[in-house]
Amino acid sequence: MSTQPTDVIVVGAGFGGLYTIYLLRERGFNVKGFEEAPEIGGCWYWNAYPGARVDSDVPIYEYSKEELWKDWNWTEKFPGRQELRKYFEYVDGKLDVKRHIQFNSRVVDAEFDPSTDRWAVRTQDGNITYSRFMVFCTGFAAKPYIPSIKGLENFKGIWHHTARWPQEGVELKGKRVAVIGTGASGVQVIQECATEVAKLTVFQRTPNLALPMRQRKITEEFQSEQKSTYPEKYRRIKTTFAGFLYHTIPKNGADVSTEERTAAFEELWDEGGFRPWLGNYVDLFTSRITNEHFYDFWRDKVRQRISDPVKQELLAPTKPPHPFGTKRPCLEQEYFEMYNRSNVELVSLKENPIVEITEKAVRTSDGVEHEVDIIVVATGFDAVTGSLARINIKGTDCRSIEEKWAPGLKTYMGMTTANYPNMFFLYGPHGPTAFCNGPTCCEIQSEWIVNCITYLRDNNITRIEPSREAEEEWSNNVDKIFSGQLFSEAKSWYTGANIPGKKVQSLNFTGGLPAYVERISTVAKKGYEGFILS
Ligand code: N01
């Protein structure tokens, strides 16, 4: 057992973790990182499934620090997993953070000792490390969700969840492959493997209202020319709703003429990426009228690409399955065209749910046995709260985080929670998380947390925790903003509705990045208003 005290423990070595470790070290803290994986990269390590690629375009899905972008060039507008992993290695070469991290070390327990104002953190190997502060950078999608499907354990072929796909890959060529789930992971696997497998059977419960990625190669020369604009771009993304390079259209889509609206939609569509989702009319998530207008536009565009009328209706139904954008749209590359191939079958689980997986097939309620060699389980995550709830974190009232949050999520500013002193988390519950470009959200929250810890050290304060009132006010505010939006109409991981028994509520702050930044900055300027310091 190690008894060496540490100033700060950082859990997780993805975008948030690496940056937090770096900032803390630069401020002179003794910092120790723990990472479950054997390497850095966070979700980009774990999601080794075929076709994994980021849905945010260059240059926003990277650190905004000049030292890290000035000599780094990508090959594609939306980089793939392998390139992202190389980027992480490049970042480590510049920031030299790996040496602070203990890999293959899953944090299983953490307990706060009020007599010393320290955390005792236990890793899977049984070792305990003590630390004044703890920062969880565990991401929003660290706990894969595998539904209890009867017989899955009896399947004699190969099956894996996308986020636990073998690092060495699985040969899909010439095989009969099933994909269960059509979220971002499922869509990427489907479009990647449809052309090489012998047969692909897609089990879809809800269609993905996917948007065109408009992928393209980008050259070093192109990026060199652009780099003089990067500082301004990185400044600007912090002023936009979701940390991208565009603002929403500052008008209500419901108030403009059909011609104007259609022209705007066409422009958004041509640009592709997330712009039709996050840069659409300002009332897209609050006005059913605007939302349905865009859904109709999307449906008509997509249907043109699917030849079979039955598949058209399943993939792009006449009526919206949920308001557009209230479930995360994926960016697609010829995803819909894949369904025109003779080796691709689409099974609608709405009509024919899976009843059992046998030794060699997926059996649906109509009695059909879909024989397959490989099953890709693309059923998502116990998202946002699951990453923290899976760790047995006990604060001052001896309750685990999971117990505390079971009746309802409570945080202060999506970075702290009452009764868990000296504990911070980022890119997680009640933060802008799912509605913010990942690196941007991580940088903003990481800088805030490190500034806060520095302030505490410089003022000889050994303990910080939010007051119950502050937590209540923030959590109510999150719920209030959310209740005025259309998100609650979709069953999605945004609200926990994808996990049976999980409380349905807003897991994210949906008020936009500028409002979030304004609030957390004001709190810091006021000497950490809403916190109890001692
Ligand atoms: O997970 P999901 P994901 N039987 O929860 C279906 C990020 N990400 O891993 O919609 C049958 O979105 C479920 O159906 P339904 C990104 O933020 C990013 O795809 O609940 N099906 C759904 O189709 C993303 O949003 C990238 O009806 C079942 C699917 O499984 C988030 O991670 C790439 C089922 C789950 O979709 C999660 O994406 C990948 C059951 N019992 C992930 N249970 C990029 O940036 C669930 N489903 C590219």
What is the predicted ipTM? Answer: 0.99
Looking up tokens 């929403």 gives 248
Ligand 1 center to 208 CA (angstroms): 9
Cα gap 277→211, rounded to integer Å:
8
The DSSP annotation for 270-308 comes to: HH-TTHHHHSSBTTTTT-HHHHHHHHHHHHHHHHTT---
**What pLDDT is recorded for position 4?**
54
Task: Report the percent of the chain where pLDDT is more than 90.
Answer: 99
Residues near ligand 1 (Cβ within 6 A): 53-55, 141, 147, 162, 180-186, 188, 205-206, 328, 349, 378-381, 491, 493, 498
260 Cβ neighbours under 8 A, 6+ residues apart: none
Residue 76 Cα to ligand 1 midpoint, Å, equals 24
Strand partners, 211: 331
Which segments of 323-430 does DSSP mark as H helices, in order?
A: 386-389, 401-405
Residue ranges with strand state E in 21-138: 31-34, 101-102, 107-113, 118-123, 128-136
**Number of alpha carbons in the 13 Å side-chain half-sphere of residue 193:** 30
Q: How confident is the model at residue 10 (pLDDT cuts 50, 70, 90)?
A: very high
Q: Please tell me the predicted confidence (pLDDT) of residue 293.
A: 98
Q: Is the CA virtual torsion 520, 238, 513, 243 positive or negative?
A: negative
178 to 146, 239, 287, 460: CA distances (angstroms): 15, 42, 37, 58
Q: Which atom of ligand 1 is nearest to 491's Cα? A: 20
Tell me the per-residue pLDDT of 82-102, one tens digit each, with 9 for 90 and over: 999 999 999 999 999 999 999
Q: How far does residue 3's CA lie from ligand 1's centre (Å)?
A: 41
Tell me the average pLDDT of the chain: 97
- In angstroms, the CA 268 to CA 275 distance is 6
pLDDT band at 1 (very low <50, low <70, confident <90, very high): very low
Q: How far away, in angstroms, is 496 Cα from ligand 1 center?
A: 12
18-68 pLDDT tens trace: 999 999 999 999 999 999 999 999 999 999 999 999 999 999 999 999 999
Q: How far is the CA of 41 from the centre of ligand 1 (A)?
A: 20
Among 71, 93, 74, smallest CA distance to 82 is for 74
Query: What token pair was written down for 224?
Result: 């060199």
Classify 219 in phi/psi space as left (phi over 0), alpha (psi -120 to 50) or beta: beta
Per-residue pLDDT averaged across 407-423, rounded?
98
- For ligand 1, atom 39, name the residue with the nearest CA: 185
Distance 184 CA to ligand 1 centre (A): 6
Q: Among 179, 379, 507, which residue has the most ligand 1 atoms within 8 Å of its CB, making it the best to mutate? A: 379
CA angle, 443 as apex, 218 and 533 as ends, to 5°? 175
- Angle, helix 438-458 to helix 15-26, in steps of 10 degrees: 30
pLDDT tens track for 301-334: 999 999 999 999 999 999 999 999 999 999 999 9
Mean pLDDT of 349-363: 98
Average pLDDT over residues 508-534: 98
| Ligand 1 atom 14 nearest Cα | 205
Look at residue 384 in the predicted model and tell me its pLDDT: 98
Q: Give the phi and the psi of residue 357 in degrees, each rounded to 5.
A: -110, 125
Atom of ligand 1 nearest to the CA of 182: 23
What's the CA gap between 216 and 65, in Å, rounded? 25
For residues 172-191, give the mean pLDDT. Answer: 98
Strands in 373-520 per DSSP E? 374-377, 392-394, 423-425, 464-466
Q: Alpha carbon of 328 to those of 182, 274, 278, 434: distances in Å? A: 11, 10, 11, 9
Pocket test for ligand 1, best of 179, 185, 436 (most atoms within 8 A of CB): 185
Q: What's the gap in Å between 186 CA and the centre of ligand 1?
A: 7
How far is ligand 1, taken at its centre, from the CA of residue 103, in Å? Answer: 28
Mean pLDDT of 213-241: 97
Contact criterion met (CB below 8 Å) for 502 and 386: no
Cα separation, 53 vs 526, whole angstroms? 41
> Residue 500 belongs to what H/E stretch?
none
Beta bridge partners of 76: 217
Across the range 173-200, mean pLDDT stands at 98
Query: What number is the average pLDDT over the span 179-200?
Result: 98
- The stretch 118-143 carries a mean pLDDT of 97
What is the CA(142)–ligand 1 centre distance, in A? 13
Query: HSE on the CB side for 109, CA within 13 Å?
Result: 13
Q: Which of 53, 205, 437 to mutate to test the pocket of ligand 1 (most atoms within 8 A of CB)?
A: 205
| 139 phi/psi in degrees, rounded to 5 | 75, 175
Interval 258-273: pLDDT, tens: 999 999 999 999 999 9
**Helix, strand and coil in the chain, % to nearest 5:** 35, 20, 45
User: What mean pLDDT do residues 416-431 have?
Assistant: 98
130-157 CB burial, b ≥16 within 10 A, e <16? bbbbbbbbbbbbbbbbeeebeebeebeb
Q: Which two tokens stand for residue 72?
A: 């780094």
Atom number in ligand 1 closest to CA 187: 19
Give which of 215, 226, 210 is closest to 57, Cα–Cα.
Answer: 215
Nearest to 466 by CA among 528, 524, 387, 385: 528
Nearest CA to 425 out of 448, 459, 399 is that of: 448
Report strand pairing: 128-136 vs 374-377: unpaired
- C-alpha to C-alpha distance for 92 and 25, rounded to whole angstroms: 14
* Ligand 1 centroid distance, CA of 452 (Å): 35
Residue 421 reports pLDDT greater than 80: yes
pLDDT > 60? residue 2? no
Beta bridge partners of 464: 533
Q: Whose CA is nearest to atom 10 of ligand 1?
A: 206
Whether pLDDT at 430 is above 80: yes
